[in-house]
Structure 1
Amino acid sequence: MLKKFKDGAIDSVIDEMVEVVQNSKDEIFEISEEARKEHSTLLKEIEITKERVLEYINTGNKLETEVRNSRKKLAEVSKHFDRYSEKEIREVYDSTHLLQTRLIMLRQEERTLRDKRDSLERRLVSLMQTIDRAEDVASKISVVLNYLSDDFKKVNVIIEEARERQAFGLQIIEAQEEERKRISREIHDGPAQMLANILLRSELVERAYKKGNAQSALEEIKSVRKMVRSSLYEVRRIIYDLRPMALDDLGLIPTLKKYADTIADYNNTNIEFKMIGEERRLDSKYEVALFRLVQESLQNAIKHADAKLIQIKMEITKDNITLLIKDDGKGFDTSKKKDKSFGLIGMRERVEMLDGKLEVKSNVGKGTSVIIQVPNVL
């Protein structure tokens, strides 16, 4: 009874967390949509204002020409005062004065329109930054939501397995905590830092516009866009690391090829993938487990071994599936057991669940080879 209560309580907490995160995501989406609507309205208003400014400029230029001609006429009348009647003199004077007054009012209205246009453009820039930030935050919330909905839903299963295998359960939980810390660290060092930089850059854009330095503001906007693209790339990479959708859609082999190319590009590392035997779909649990094993091996080779060349070979025969992940990194002494080496512990557990074997060969300065062999279940 106690076990059922605890499991139910955990489910309730998880469901509540998922609901809160989903509501937050919906609210951010609504903010983004409202900002987009206002952005569209501002664009139209800016275009109309620009057209009116242009009309005022053209009208003002014509009026200036009329004022100059009228002044010439007034100068002519003043010079030859005795040739013109009092009525003609007054008409010339009144006409010149009226034209000058109209020109002053027109230029004042033109300046007002220019100020309005500049204000609208500043609001437009601010709105774009709001939209970009909202989309970036929504993307990261999607990562969190996926993590809550997918991985946390398995907590009850993990707890049950931990009760059955208490000796190994604690290591599993600690390994999960390490994974969460890794994801948290990646988000903090990547997208979160970039968001902070984007915020600072947006303030520089605002200052530049207030000072009237449009060119500097434009350069800052370009820089902000690059940061947003980089942040989006980071978020997508983290999502891909959690679970690539291609694994369910295309299968293990295409996903491994794509993952190897992605990791190679991101870390500037040479990764070679070679397939031997028939390329076909495997049982779902085999595809997920083998992908995670390759993923963990690649991360170890890149982060801990400083490898420049990593070779992945996969062979599917009638009886077995064999994986070899070999790197040219700094290697390590396999006789010395490292504290909290949960990466290898997790890998061994996955292989044991598939009734397979895991062998790690390594020497200091001579690289590392990870050999995985599991039975081929047709």
Structure 2
Amino acid sequence: MLKKLNSVRYKFIRSHIYGLFLTTMILLSFFLAIFVMYNPEWLSKEAIFLFVGSLLLVSFFVSLYVGFQSSGDMKERIDGLSTLIRALSQGKYDSRIRLTPDDEIARIGSELNELGNKLKSQVKSLQRMADEKSEFAKSAHKAAAIEERQRLARDLHDAVSQQLFALTMMAQAAQRSFDQQPELAKKQLEEITSMALQAQTEMRALLLHLRPVHLSGEPLKQGIHNLISELQDKCQIRFDVHMDDMENIPESAEDHLFRIVQEALSNILRHAEATEVDVRLKQERTELFVHIGDNGKGFELDQDKKTSYGLKTMQERTEEIGGTFTIRSKPHEGTYIDIRIPVQESDDRE
């Protein structure tokens, strides 16, 4: 309620009421001064207070009406500016506003329109540079593959190989205590089962990174469909997938989006402990929306460092093609990633 009273419209109304109050005080002081100094017959105390009271009452309602009406145009124009700024912040660089008359607010609107043109031009430049970078990346694919194998070797040593060593030690301990301490052996076998499942999940997540860095000529929709189909055959996770047919998507943007989805699914397998995953790709006239959500254990965005490297990589890939990256997560409430990518219309592309 207090926030509403601080709006432009109520500030206009208050300014009219302040003006009314000041005018009333001036008239009252003027008539009382004449009455005290000259005491004319035609002027009495009753007449003064009747006139001022009537003026105050009538002018109060007139001030409310005039203030409300006169602020309507100002509020509408400011709301238009706010809507345009929100649209630009969400990546809708085609949004425009037309304001009349030619005053300070109209000039702000014109400058925001010019900012939208510059942002749109920068997105085109980013996507053009991403296309050029994609060609360069393909020529450097062998070096990247070697580096990726080295990273996977480190991950295998740090994660899976250590788990397998622990499994071996636990199995030997269970074997020795099987006859003399069957309850302890049973507990150790349960721990072995849990560790084996964890190692299996870790291995599947690492194998995701062995897939091609590029789509190898496949459309983005088909590449993601193949990736999820492969995971469905190997994981106890239910995938809910909805993807539109996509047009006018630069090849570099498709490669980046494929790797983003790949990285997101890898994080889900390794950390989320999810049973359901929702993947959606929707294309409108000038934007592509990507949503990846899971019902896993979630995490605190400011505290959990396990997935920070993967999230940083996804955000950098999104920004490299001129998009916006948003993530929401809380412990025990799952994780949700939303990506918005500007798409140039066919007649607007060079």
How would you bin the TM-score normalised by the shorter chain?
0.3 to 0.5
TM-score by length of structure 2 reads 0.41
**TM-score for the superposition, normalised by structure 1:** 0.38
More helix by share: 1
